[in-house]
Amino acid sequence: MRVLSRAHELPLRGRSAEVRKVYGSLQSAQDFGSVLFTFEGTPGAGRSRMLHEAGHIAKSLGATVVNGLPRGDEPRDRPLAVLLDDIHCTGQEEASTLVALRDRHLDTPLVWFVARRARWPNGPVDSILNALTSHHEQVALAPLPESAARELAADLLGVEPDAAFERALSDAGGQPQTLRALVEGLHEEGWVEIGATARLIAPIVPERVSGLVQRLLHDCSDFCRRMLSVAAVLDRRIVFEELATVLETTPSGLLSAFDEAASTGLVRSDGGHLTFAGELFRRVMYESMPVTVRTALRRQAEEQRARHARILIPARSSADGMRNGVPDGRPVHVERWQRHRRPGLEPRGQHPARLLAPAGEPGASTARAAAPVTKPEEAVRPAKAQREETADAGAELRPQAGWEQLTDRQRTVVELAVQGLTNRQIAERIFVSPHTVNYHLRKIYRALSVSSRIDLFRLAHNHATAAGVPLAERPDV
């Protein structure tokens, strides 16, 4: 196998846009005199690799390349490119050196290529460089696309990875350092078979990756590490409210810890949601938790989700001592009462929803007093006609029969389904297989007499409206 020992000897993959900007900055130096070009990224994003590439490009264009602070005796007949890595770690001494060099290259086109850690506060060197340069450019290093990850693996292995290997590469989240650790670690531990392609024997997490994650966690505070470990057990997508409940804090109390985790590159924002930057990171933290702790955390999370998912009608007392139309003193589902009560008993012209109004609100006890007197000829109308009229009046808001037949787990599935989650996403949230979610949905459809998710959403919406409990979120249907 051809695994190269130095990252700089490998071709640069997935950074063509950044390379074009480097060429542009060298041209800008001819126009502006001095340019500050910053590569910003989390640990392992490839900042040093891009800095090395910038120096190679500058040298190919005839510039003098200085790795580190200039000494002041560099040639002045051609452009100068200065490479400074990890300037977020520099201090006052380096800043003083820069001040001393302020006037030595005034007539020379100068480009400062610097690399710094994302989400890290500026230091004295940043301030001096901003003052010394007249044009500034900044590039945030994004995760590599899947095609670049595949090319990087082929560079390391000498052959293309097979389909199973490619799927394993996607778990690195596009981070170059993690990708390299994954490929080299799998090969070293004997989990890669080299032939016409590189075949992955088993998608395990190699020690190289575990060590990398542990080093990143070492830079985090105790609370941040604990938060990430719990989040890894609860879900692949990080849910603030749920995580705050388990950690016995508030969602706002997690913000500083998440900023800290984001600066290490362990988590990132994905489509408006916070997720682990790579599934490998989550797996390492998940597997580091004892099995008993994982089980207890999952049970606690499931109970919280079940409580959130229940669509029950709150009990309401009226002025006549009745609760939801039955005597106070025992909790009753309105669905059950609606199913067993005799139809047609409401005063004519009164909407059934008014029977649920709390005492003191318009339409509660006053609604009964204001009901028109039944005329003799109306009293002998067929009971069937009265029932049909009542059903038409209350169809929009009457709770649907069948809800009380659902188990807590099925109610959880309904809650997640009407939020627009797929079967696979629901399975990840409640720690079951997609096949099991499909099984639950079939039973739910049968119990509620619906045949699609759109019908389920409409039914759930009507049911929640009758209950006075709004749905958590309307899906795009």
Region 235-250 average pLDDT: 84
Report the relative pairing of strands 135-140 and 34-41 from DSSP bridges.
Answer: parallel
Q: What average pLDDT does the chain have? A: 77
Give the DSSP letter string of 28-46.
HHHHHSEEEEEEEE-TTSS
Region 225-246 average pLDDT: 87
Q: What is the DSSP letter of 119?
A: T
Q: Residue 313: is its pLDDT beyond 50?
A: no
Q: So what's the pLDDT on residue 427?
A: 82
CA 416 to CA 432: how far, in whole Å? 14
Tokens 């006052």 locate to: 92
CB 4 within 8 A of CB 184: no
Residue 350: strand, helix, or coil: coil
Helix, strand, coil percent values for the chain (each to nearest 5): 50, 10, 35
- % of the chain surpassing 90 pLDDT: 36
CB 115 within 8 A of CB 87: yes
Q: Which helix (H) or strand (E) holds 144?
A: none
Region 202-218 average pLDDT: 93
CB 400 within 8 A of CB 448: yes
Question: Tens of pLDDT along 260-301?
Answer: 999 999 998 876 678 999 999 999 999 888 888 888 888 887
Q: So what's the pLDDT on residue 196?
A: 94
Task: Report the predicted TM-score, pTM, of the whole model to 2 decimal places.
Answer: 0.64
Q: Which helix (H) or strand (E) holds 52?
A: helix 47-60
Q: So what's the pLDDT on residue 377?
A: 44
Residue 148 Ramachandran class (φ > 0 left, ψ -120 to 50 alpha, else beta)? alpha
Region 73-91 average pLDDT: 85
Q: So what's the pLDDT on residue 104?
A: 67
- % of the chain surpassing 70 pLDDT: 74
Count the residues in the chain. 477
Q: Residue 381: is its pLDDT beyond 80?
A: no
Question: Tens of pLDDT along 30-54?
Answer: 887 889 999 999 999 999 999 999 9
Q: So what's the pLDDT on residue 237?
A: 80
Q: Which helix (H) or strand (E) holds 282?
A: helix 279-288
- pLDDT higher at 475 or 133: 133
Q: Residue 330: is its pLDDT beyond 80?
A: no
Cα angle 25, 27, 28; round to 5: 60
Report the relative pairing of strands 110-117 and 34-41 from DSSP bridges.
Answer: parallel
* Residue whose C-alpha is closest to residue 130's, from 33, 260, 35: 35
Give φ, ψ of 126 to 5 degrees: -60, -45
Question: Tens of pLDDT along 417-442?
Answer: 887 788 888 887 787 788 888 888 88
